[in-house]
Amino acid sequence: MQNDYILQPNVDLDGLTRSVKGYDQNDVACEINVVEEQPLTIFLNGQEIVTAMTIGDYPDYLALGFLKNQGMLGADENVLGIDYDEDLKIVVVRTDGQTIYEEKLKKKTRTSGCAVGTVFGDMMEGLENLVLPSAELRTSWLYHLSNVINQTPSLYLKAGAIHGTVLCDKDKPLVYMEDVGRHNAVDKIAGWIHMHNETVADKILYTTGRLTSEMVIKCALMGIPILVSRSGFTAWGVEIANQVGLTLIGRMRGQRFMCLAGKDRLIYDEK
């Protein structure tokens, strides 16, 4: 299917998958593609922050988005550069601010994400006075997005065992990222947004992952008012979405979905 993505999965990039020999249910020898994963250590200036398991593409977007979503980059802090050492699997984000996060790093929450995500500090920090922008969401956009995204060549279709996240503008998918953990895929989107100074007040975030608390919190703190998934919900995720006024769409398959928060943005323009 033809599309106009700004960025989409490069399924033929070396190192993302590996062919592995095995046997099927009939004891027939076969080969399948499996996703590679590797550690990536993120530094902020001179301080080591975290080591994440990732497929290894777009380390700059992943590092920048992770730090942004963790509240470790101030609003007035400028990013001076991002350096990646492929051999050491290290990425260093350099800024003009001071990095003093010893206390924040002591408080860790292991999230429900695949490949075990980590949230540093108070998960709810920054949500108290958050007001998400008004926006509309048409059912025709949802149906079109689902159709296009599901047919886009991806590592999920090639090898499985991976999550995808797509930044969308109305019925048009813009940036499609994948990773072994859904939180990594979201962080890559956040990094791309921050690096390109993209406006998100009218955007939609589509994910293949579960709509859990940390997914809702990340989307809200990114300033995106609409979160859509083909997977299901957790109760706390729904509660937080209602608290911050985020539209939450889940179980999106074909022309079926459930809206558990923010229904006021939804326009049923196509039955």
Is there a single domain that holds both residue 159 and residue 236? yes
Is there a single domain that holds both residue 149 and residue 238? yes
- The answer on pLDDT for 116 being more than 50 is no
Is there a single domain that holds both residue 164 and residue 208? yes
Lookup: tokens for 55: 């497929």
pLDDT of residue 109: 47
Q: Please say which residue of 120, 147, 175 terminates a domain.
A: 120
Asked, for residue 238, whether it belongs to a domain, the answer is yes
Is there a single domain that holds both residue 259 and residue 144? yes
CA distance 91 to 155: 23
Is there a single domain that holds both residue 238 and residue 162? yes
Residue 196: Cβ within 10 Å count: 12
DSSP lists the bridge partners of residue 204 as 168, 226
pLDDT of residue 258: 98
Asked, for residue 10, whether it belongs to a domain, the answer is no
Domain CATH number, residue 160: 3.40.140.10
- The answer on pLDDT for 7 being more than 80 is yes
CA distance 57 to 200: 23
Is there a single domain that holds both residue 96 and residue 216? no
Asked, for residue 29, whether it belongs to a domain, the answer is no
CA distance 220 to 241: 8
Tally of domains within the chain = 2
Is there a single domain that holds both residue 161 and residue 229? yes
Torsion-angle region of 177 (φ positive above 0: left; ψ -120 to 50: alpha; else: beta): beta
Is there a single domain that holds both residue 154 and residue 221? yes
Is there a single domain that holds both residue 105 and residue 174? no
Across 35-51, average pLDDT: 95
Per-residue pLDDT reduced to its tens digit, 56-115: 999 999 999 999 998 899 888 999 999 999 999 999 999 998 876 655 565 554 454 444
Per-residue pLDDT reduced to its tens digit, 214-233: 999 999 999 999 999 999 99
CA distance 228 to 138: 12
Domain CATH number, residue 102: 3.10.20.10
* Residues 203, 168 contacting (CB under 8 angstroms): yes
Is there a single domain that holds both residue 143 and residue 261? yes
pLDDT of residue 124: 76
Name the percent of the chain lying above pLDDT 90: 81
Asked, for residue 235, whether it belongs to a domain, the answer is yes
Beta strands in the chain (DSSP E): 17-23, 29-35, 38-44, 47-54, 79-85, 90-95, 108-110, 118-120, 137-138, 163-169, 172-179, 203-207, 226-229, 247-253, 256-261, 266-267
DSSP lists the bridge partners of residue 82 as 93
CA distance 142 to 144: 6
Asked, for residue 24, whether it belongs to a domain, the answer is no
Per-residue pLDDT reduced to its tens digit, 123-146: 677 788 898 999 999 999 999 999
Asked, for residue 14, whether it belongs to a domain, the answer is no
Over the chain, what is the mean pLDDT? 91
Q: Please say which residue of 120, 154, 180 terminates a domain.
A: 120
Q: Please say which residue of 120, 151, 171 terminates a domain.
A: 120
Across 200-208, average pLDDT: 97
Q: If we measure between CA atoms, which residue out of 199, 217, 201 comes closest to residue 135? A: 201
- pTM confidence score: 0.91
Alpha helices in the chain (DSSP H): 59-69, 102-106, 139-151, 155-158, 182-196, 213-222, 235-244
Helix (H, G, I), strand (E, B) or coil at 120: strand
Is there a single domain that holds both residue 48 and residue 143? no
Is there a single domain that holds both residue 144 and residue 263? yes
Helix (H, G, I), strand (E, B) or coil at 135: coil
Residue-range definition of the domain harbouring residue 247:
137-267
Lookup: tokens for 133: 């922008």
pLDDT of residue 270: 84
